[in-house]
Structure 1
Amino acid sequence: MTVESSSADPALTDPDLYSVVFENERVRVLRYQDRPGDRTTVHRHPDSVMVTLSPIRRRLSSEGKVAEVELAAGQVRWLDAQRHAGENIGDTDSDVVFIELKEPPDSGTVDDGVRPLGPA
C-alpha cells in the first residue's frame, strides 16, 4: 500500500485545510484544521490513526452513505482506509492529526543494531 495517488490526496485536494507536517518511508502525518461550515472535496485516506486536538463534529459522505461523527478533544481512533468528503457541522473549529501508514520496510528488525535509539 502506498499513500494516496495525487488525485485523491487530501493535502492536494484541500491544501487550505490539510498540511503535511512529517513524512518518511513508513508514515505521513497530516494536520487538518477547519472552521464550522467548511467542507472538503472527495479525498482518500490510507489506514490511519486519527488524533483529535479539539472536539469535532463532522458529516462524512461516500458513495451514497452518510455518517455523523462527534469526538471530544484528545481522542485517538483507528481509521480504516477510505474515500470520503467531509463537512464541519459543529460550532467550533476542528483540529485533527492523521498518522497515515505506509508499507513496512522490506528487511530488518526493530532492534537490528543499525537504527538509532529514540526519536529520529
Structure 2
Amino acid sequence: MPLKTHPRLLLLATLVSVIGLVTAEEEPHQAAHIASPDYYTALKENDQVLVLKMVLEPGESDAMHRHHDETVYFQQGGQLSIETVNGDTLEAEVPDGHVIWHEAWTQRVTNVGDNTVIAIIVENKP
C-alpha cells in the first residue's frame, strides 16, 4: 500500500535539501541527547549508529543540536516548528507513523501542537 505524502512534509524535505546546511562534522553544536537530555534518550549506540527516542510534550522545545544523517520514525506525530541553525523556521504537521530521512543538520524542534510527539531517530555514525 503506497504511503501518501503530506504537502507540508514535502515542504520540510525541500527546506532540508535547499537550505545551505552546515554538516554535523563542521558544527559546534552537541548531539541531541547531550544538548537536551530531558527530551532525548539514547536507546542504542555503537560504532555504526546512535538510536534516540525523542518525547516532546505540547509547548516544549529542545536546545539547538546536531544530527548526523538520520532516519526518523514518528511513532506519534503532531504539529512541529523546526528552526535550523541558519534561522529558517518551518511548521509541519507530521502524521503518526511518518518516516523521513535527511542528511546531517543542526536544528531546534518545538512542539506547537496539542499532542505529545514521540519519534525514534536512527543516526548513522560518520
Query: Which category describes the TM-score, using the shorter chain as reference length?
Result: 0.7 to 0.9
| Counterpart secondary structure, 1:53 | strand
Report the counterpart of residue 77 of structure 2 in structure 1.
55
Q: Give the counterpart of 1:72 among 95, 109, 112.
A: 95
TM-score w.r.t. the length of structure 1 is: 0.77
Contact 1:3 1:102 in 2 (8 A): no
Instruction: State how far apart, in whole Å, the 2-side matches of 1:22 and 1:4 are.
Output: 24
Deviations 1:52-101 (A, max 9, x none): 00022110112221111221111111022111111001110010000000
Deviations 1:20-57 (A, max 9, x none): 00111111100000100001111001110000000221
User: For residues 26-45 of structure 1, what are the structure 2 equivalents within 5 Å?
Assistant: 26-45=48-67
Query: Identity of counterpart residues, as a percentage?
Result: 26
Q: Unaligned stretches of 5+ in structure 1?
A: 104-120
User: For residues 78-89 of structure 1, what are the structure 2 equivalents within 5 Å?
Assistant: 78-89=101-112
TM-score w.r.t. the length of structure 2 is: 0.74
| Counterpart secondary structure, 1:12 | helix
Q: Point out 4+ residue stretches in structure 1 off by more than 4 angstroms.
A: 1-7
Count of residue pairs the alignment pairs up: 103
Residues 1:2 and 1:90: Cα distance change in structure 2 (over 3 Å)? closer
Asked if 1:12 corresponds to 2:34, the answer is yes
Q: Unaligned stretches of 5+ in structure 2?
A: 1-22
Larger radius of gyration: 1
Residues 1:2 and 1:25: Cα distance change in structure 2 (over 3 Å)? farther
